[in-house]
Every structure is written in structure tokens, then in C-alpha cells.
A and B are shown apart, each in its own frame.
Chain A
């Protein structure tokens, strides 16, 4: 009940302010800066945005094509759909203790718990709570976030865990003898079934070998500048794919 009233009320209160802020920003930008250059910039940025979006599946397909050429039973990736959402707040109130964002898309827009949230640069997090028109998103930087990932080139699997805002992410469970290189991009492995395979998540920052552990000590940086985000994309599962939230009857 609290989700359907409290979160809905908070979202409704915050939305008009954000809308006014955006309108005023657009007005000031349009009139006080070089109008033509600005318009051109906007068009180029939109084009870049679209190209980046197109590149995500292309990158995945290119890597897959090399590996799967020899295999007989190639199966095409499922067609997920994107939906834009505005960020209208972050942590609101004393109980908002997780690193999270508030977005203006909810259950009525098809958003469900665990819906992947990303930008053209990479994964931002996943939906945690949903009300009819708003949702909260658990960020990948939160210590409670764990995402199965693999190196884009090395294909080494690991689990990417958050350590808090403005702190490096940790890649856990990578054995000492597995290859994973600095600057390598980590993509979702799709093993947990929440995220589709091949979405960029983070870039490896440092790889240390520990004498005390069976696993490598790997730090990574998010591909997305989360502090500067204004819009995100919600990724909707194709109807043909099984929903990991579904209840299985005994």
C-alpha cells in the first residue's frame, strides 16, 4: 500500500519541479547561448546517442559471430525493447538508504521489479520498487547490487558488486588463473536471467593477484557517470522469454 500511495505521492510532487526546471533550462539555453551551434550540437548528440544504442547489439553480435561460426546450432538473441524514462529524484526520505534513483515510469508503463535500467553507455541498475507511475532503481554502485558479468574479449566470468557511491566496483569470483585484462570492458553474461547478454557495465581498472585468496582482486569503474544522469532507458523483456520473477508452482 505504501508503494502505491507514498511513492506515487512523492513522484507526483517531484515531477512538476523537474518539468519546470527543464523548461527553464531549455528556455535559457535557447535564448542566451549561440542558438544555431547549440541546435547543431543537440542534433549531433542525438545522432551519437542513437548510434551508441545501435552499437550495443552490434558489438555483441560481432563477438558472437566469431565464436559461434563453427557451431551448428546458432540461436539469434532475443529482441528486447527500450523505453525512455526521466530521473526525477534520487534518495528521498530517511528510509531511502540504498543508492537509488526515482524514475517516472511505473507498472502502468510495463516496468516490473528487476527491469534492467541503462543508458547507451552501459548498465545503470535495475528496478527495485514499482508504483503505478514511478519506480525506484537500485544502482550498480550499491553494495547490495550483484551482476553476473564477463570480459568482452577474455570471456572470463565474474560477479560485479557495488561498494558505494564514488567507490570502485569489485569483480568477485575470478580465479587466479583466469585471464582478465586492465581496461577490458565487462559485459553482462546473462547468467542470472535478469539482464540480456552483452550489455556493457564497467571497465576493469586494476587486476591484483592475492597470495591469501583463490580469486583475483579486481576493481572496475562504471561505464556510466551516474551522478550526471538525467534520462535512462528501461529495457523490456520480450514476451517470448521467461520472466525470472515468475512464481513456479510445485
Chain B
């Protein structure tokens, strides 16, 4: 189960309760794959769950990697988790809509996804309260960064268009007053941007130590010059405003050589000044990001940088995908607009799971076999409602019970004996017994069902059904495993 050079689970020698032992998980995986393949055969598409399986696996792997402390696996976890989870969330949402018309099919789909996720999370040890909480916080952080990044990108694009319009207006010939303000405004902006870039770029740190005092003095003089230039340029602009209000500026600039000179100088320098300002700001921002990314070893900064990196990747992927969405017409545009909202469905789901853990509905260390078992029982339920043969229903429900039995048995082996000892024989013995009992149960029930159908019993009547349900509940309460 290695990915990117690291194991997805974190095994320890003794006392690690998170992950069942390998043999138990193999039995569980075989059982789940058997039920999924059976479903596929019944609907005529044996491999229909392979695509879903890919996304489920990616979600599970992403959740496991989001708990890592190092940057590389963390970013990989972000990139695996959210996109796959968004697709799965869309599938589950669609199943919810489908449930209004075909509840059996919806139960089948959701049950299959749950069963697959349970197995994958069992292998990766990625489904307990801390992992879900970390995934929620980490991925939520990357989503927030993504939104902020989108807003910043939109602002930059807007400011860019505005600046372009202004500069074009200045270069195409404007009045001397507008040229005056444009010239000094842009000069101040360029000087300030250069000042920011000089402060942010680690030029002094990169200078050899013996030349650092000289470099420090030189950069100090440069910074003073740039901030002074900014002050002078914007000071002149402020004076210009005062002059404009007093009516002096128009008079001064109406002198033909002076006004024409200002216009010509502005036309010549507007574009270079704007380019210098934009490039300087870009360099400053990149230098700041590089400083933040490389500063310190604390996990908080690693996680923040990981989330921010993932957010940039999401944004780039979204922009790269724009032409594809546009080619799809209205559907594509609608989906494009929905993409930034779909993660909220994922986080709502994670929040519900977290509440399930906190409320004790999901068993802390046995959550993955519980989810897999519940998924298989749901598939049995859905199959019965959808009209699948009785054998499938019995098989799916039995598979759910076997999954729970073998999975929790593997967990107890892990908890008591750790990861080191060779316990395959112990697990396989129990797995064979559990599967054997299940097969005997399936055979017995199939015979009973055939007998029931052949003699046309009255089981279908509401009264008999009510009595049967009551009996089942009473027996269940009496035994309470």
C-alpha cells in the first residue's frame, strides 16, 4: 500500500488499534468485491464499480495523507482528496435525487460506495475521529485559500483591466491635467512597488558574508531613495489636487510648452512605469511566499503552506478546464459555477461523520468495518427493493455480517498483538468459520424462500408481516449480541 514512497497507514509494533491485520482485511475485501461483482453481473455491467472504486480509493488515500506532517505528502493528500470527494459528493447527491423515484437503486449505489470506502479506509487506517477531523480542517483550509485566491485573482484581473484602460487613455492623448496626475501617480506607484520588492527579496541574505555590510548600506540607500521618490511623486500629485481646486494647475499647464511636455512624457513613460510596478509587485509577492514557505519547521506553517499550494493548484486546474466547460454549453457552464460550491457538500458530509463519531454512533476504532458492513446491508436492502434475486439479498446481508465479524476480529488481533507477530493462520481460521456460517445461512434461507414461494404462503399479508417484524425485534432484543 505504498504511495509516493510512504505507507498510507502508520503501523506501530504494539497497541495500534486502527488497522485490522492484513489477512482479515483481505477476507473483507474479497467479500466486498464479490458482492459488487454480483451487482454488476445482475445489471449487465460487471465492471460498473471500478470507476467509483478509483475515486473512493483516492478519497481514502487523500484522507490518510492529510494527517501527515511533511509538506510533500500533505499537498498530495489535498490534491487526491478534494477533487475525488467532490465527484463522489456529486454522485451521492444524484443518488439522493434518484431516491425520490427509485429508492432501491439509490440504496444500492450509496451502499456500494460505503462498502468500498470502508475497505479502502480499513487498509489505509484513515477512518477515525482524528483523521476525519484533520481532513475536515485541512481540506476546509485549502478551500478557504481557494476562495481567497479566486477573489484575489478576480481583483488582480479587474485592476489589470482598469490600469490598462487608464494607460491606454493616457498614451492615446489626454489633456495635460490628466497626464500630470497619471504621470506622478504611476511614478509613485512604480517607486513604491520597487520598494516593496527590494524589502521582500532576500538579496542581503544571499550576499556573501564578507560583502554584507556594503550590500546592507547600499540597499538601505536604495530603499530610502525609493520611498523618498514615492513621497515626492505622490506629494506633487497631492499639491496638484490642491492646485486643481485653487485653479492654479490648469493655468500652469495651459502654458503650451509645459503642458505639451507633460503630455509627451506621460505618453512615453506610462506603459514602462506600469510594467515596472506590476513586475515589482509580482516579484515581491513571490519572494514573500518563498520566505513563508521555507521559514521554520512547525507543523502549522507546513499545513498552511500545503493548503495554500493545493488552493493554487485547484485554481489553476479550474482555469485550465474553462475552455472544456465552455465547449459543453449550458451544462458545462452550470457545472463550472457549481464546482466552487460542491466542496461544501463534502464538508457537510465530513461534519456529519464527525458528529457520528462524537455521538458514539460510529464505533471509534471499528468505524471502517462498520461502514463497509452497513454498506453491504444497504446493498442487500436496495437489491430487494430493486427486484434482485433473493440469493443476492441474502448474500449481501451475510457479506455485511461477515465483514463486521472478520474486520473487528482483525482489529482485536491488532490491538492485542500489534503488527509484528505472524497471525495469518489465526485470522484465516476465524475468517473461514465466519464465511462458512454465512454460506450455511444463505443456503438455508434460500431453501426456505423457495419453499415459501412454491407453497404460496401468506407471508405477504400485512398481518403476518407485522407479527413477523414483532417477532424479529423481540428475538433481537432478547439476544443483543
The answer to whether A binds B is no
